[in-house]
């Protein structure tokens, strides 16, 4: 049976790669992001497979609409992938402005919560035996302290906590909840991180990974898409580290 996903952050580097890979694997996808033009361009590559839904993950109603679209247009929901987040930092924790802290938690944690609130009831509406999947992007920052990124560290630890709790609430349903923690991956967010550190480019980040290079977003998407599939049924309440050995 054709599987159906909602993916947030779908105009971004990793979210975009997840949309492309799921669509290429035959999935139907509701692609969610606030960046309407980039979203529309991606959806245009996959006519009939990918529908763009311009929406803010902080908005409970908008997440409900995205999930409703999956059910009305594609007949149900099998996976929800939370990629949307922002980066902020560049100062020690005690100098972090409230706006930075709030942005990290509103987009990066509340957004995951809002997606889960909308998506889990739809995943539960699938008939048994279910194979629903909820996958959230955490980070190597959920497992290591990173200099001048303590707010991001805290938000990403919160994502892992949310996933652990959610997986417990889903016990026995056939639906799993997992996090993927990427290492440094060549996307706009990594560019923004280099700027926070006043680095001339992103290449410096490569030396922290055992693979001695930056990851391509498609490599992270491989792990996410595998978790979305029926074959990942043994894995729930935990983290897959797609980090090139960053946290090894």
Ligand X SMILES: NC(=O)c1ccc[n+]([C@@H]2O[C@H](COP(=O)([O-])OP(=O)(O)OC[C@H]3O[C@@H](n4cnc5c(N)ncnc54)[C@H](O)[C@@H]3O)[C@@H](O)[C@H]2O)c1
Q: How far is the CB of 83 from ligand X (least distance, A)?
A: 4
Cβ closer to ligand X: 104 or 120? 104
Cβ closer to ligand X: 69 or 126? 69
Q: How far is the CB of 177 from ligand X (least distance, A)?
A: 16
Cβ closer to ligand X: 61 or 230? 61
d(CA 129, CA 131): 7
The three state secondary structure string of 125-162 is HCCCCCCCEEEEECCHHHCCCCCCCHHHHHHHHHHHHH
> Which residue numbers are catalytic?
152
Q: How far is the CB of 215 from ligand X (least distance, A)?
A: 7
Residues interacting with ligand X, by CB under 6 A? 8-9, 11-15, 33-35, 56-58, 83-86, 107, 111, 137, 139-140, 182, 184-185, 187-190
Q: How far is the CB of 190 from ligand X (least distance, A)?
A: 4
Cβ closer to ligand X: 76 or 111? 111
- Count helices and strands (H / E) in the chain: 8, 7
Angle (CA) 187 162 234, round 5°: 85
Question: Does the N-terminal peptide bond of residue 144 adopt cis geometry, omega within 30 degrees of 0?
Answer: no
d(CA 160, CA 38): 28
Q: Is the dihedral of CA 11, 188, 183, 136 positive or negative?
A: negative
């Amino acid at each position: 049976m054709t599987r159906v996903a909602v993916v947030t952050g779908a105009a971004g580097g990793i979210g975009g790669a997840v949309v492309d890979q799921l669509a290429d694997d035959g999935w139907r996808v509701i692609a969610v992001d606030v960046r309407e033009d980039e979203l529309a361009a991606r959806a245009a590559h996959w006519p009939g497979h990918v529908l763009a839904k311009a929406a803010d993950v902080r908005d409970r109603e908008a997440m409900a609409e995205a999930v409703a679209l999956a059910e009305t247009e594609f007949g149900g929901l099998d996976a929800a992938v939370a990629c949307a987040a922002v980066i902020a930092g560049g100062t020690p924790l005690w100098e972090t402005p409230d706006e930075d802290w709030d942005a990290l938690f509103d987009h990066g944690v509340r957004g995951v919560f809002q997606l889960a609130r909308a998506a889990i009831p739809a995943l539960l509406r699938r008939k048994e035996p279910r194979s629903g999947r909820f996958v959230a992007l955490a980070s190597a920052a959920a497992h290591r302290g990173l200099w001048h990124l303590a707010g991001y560290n805290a938000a990403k630890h919160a994502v892992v906590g949310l996933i652990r709790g959610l997986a417990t609430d889903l016990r026995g349903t056939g639906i799993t909840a997992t996090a993927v923690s990427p290492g440094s991956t060549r996307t706009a967010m990594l560019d923004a991180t280099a700027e926070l550190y006043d680095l001339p480019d992103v290449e410096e980040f490569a030396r922290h990974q055992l693979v001695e290079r930056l990851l391509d977003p498609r490599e992270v998407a491989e792990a996410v898409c595998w978790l979305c599939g029926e074959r990942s049924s043994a894995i729930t309440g935990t983290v897959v580290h797609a980090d090139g050995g960053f946290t090894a």
